[in-house]
Amino acid sequence: MRLILLGAPGAGKGTVAKLLTAMDGSVQISTGDILRAAVKAGTELGKQAEAAMKAGELVSDDLIMGIMKERLQEADCKNGYLLDGFPRTIPQAEALKVLLADISDKLDGAVNLNVPRDVILDRLTTRRTCTDCGAIYNVKSNPPKVEGKCDKCGGPVVQRDDETEEAISNRLDVFNKQTAPLVGFYEKEGLLLDINATSSDAVVEAIKAHLAK
């Protein structure tokens, strides 16, 4: 399957992507994970992205398109992909459309995960992430077995730099201004699948039903 996952920070894009990749061998492509790995490794890309990320602002469209142009042509994309956190702006969505036409790929849909703002805020402040493998935990509903240590890889499980209250509120504003318009964009493209995303399992069922049609 080839899907775009839309939704506010904390809507569950990463969780849903992981559940879906386990179904059919498609890969999860998270621009946030790619950027965080680059920051951690101290690469040129990481240096260019770091300040914007820390403030909860978006990284430039050019930088993101450079990453995605290469990423979507890697061999593991042959079995499909779930785009998590990309596209994030109308120019990215337009550039993606051109890129997909160039490489003759066709999307199965753009899934909009709808979650009420109070649920989002609660999820983001309690979310913890493994800095080595990107696994996501929640201090209340899904803590790692050993505090601060990833169940999957043993890496450190911490609160992200951009999950302070101030950065979270900024990320939600940026989302409402720059990313929410993508719902209308994909509706016009005839690709939108709008889902109530309070439960990740229900989301997976709704996507399966959509794909079977």
Work out the widest C-alpha separation in the chain, in whole angstroms: 47
Q: Which is nearer to ligand ADP, 1 or 45 (CB)?
A: 45
From Zn ion, ligand ADP, none, which one binds at residue 88 (CB under 5 to 8 Å depending on kind)?
ligand ADP
Based on the shown chain and the rule CB under 6 A, indicate whether residue 179 belongs to the binding site for ligand ADP: no
What does DSSP assign to residue 42? T
Q: What is the 8-class DSSP label of residue 78?
A: G
Task: Based on the shown chain and the rule CB under 6 A, indicate whether residue 58 belongs to the binding site for ligand ADP.
Answer: yes
DSSP string covering 104-164: T----EEEEEE--HHHHHHHHHHEEEETTT--EEETTTB--SBTTB-TTT--BEE--GGGS
For Zn ion, what does the binding mask look like between residues 119 and 138, x meaning CB under 5 A? Answer: -----------x-xx-x---
Among 15, 17, 20, 56, binds ligand ADP (CB under 6 A): 56
Residue 146 makes contact with Zn ion by CB under 5 A: no
How many other C-beta atoms can be found within 10 angstroms of the C-beta atom of residue 159?
14
Which candidate in 36, 123, 128, 171 is catalytic? Answer: 171
Asked if residue 123 binds ligand ADP (CB under 6 A), the reply is no
Phi-psi region of 116 (alpha: psi -120 to 50; beta: other; left: phi over 0): beta
Chain-centre distance for alpha carbon 15 = 9
Query: Cβ closer to ligand ADP: 133 or 209?
Result: 133
Sign of the torsion angle spanned by Cα atoms 91, 96, 98, 99: positive
Least distance in angstroms from the C-beta of 140 to Zn ion:
19
Which one of 18, 71, 127, 149 is the catalytic residue?
A: 127
**DSSP secondary structure code for residue 212 in this structure:** H
- Residue 134 binds to ligand ADP (criterion: CB under 6 A): no
Residue 123 appears among annotated catalytic residues: no
**Among residues 38, 82, 85, 195, which is the contact residue for ligand ADP, using CB under 6 A?**
85
71 is catalytic: no
Rounded to whole angstroms, how far apart are CA atoms 56 and 98? Answer: 28
* Cα 102 → chain centroid: 23
Catalytic residues: 13, 88, 127, 160, 171
Which residues contact Zn ion by CB under 5 A?
Answer: 130, 132-133, 135, 150, 152-153, 155
Which residues contact ligand ADP by CB under 6 A?
Answer: 9, 31-32, 35, 52-53, 56-59, 64, 85-86, 88, 92, 162, 171
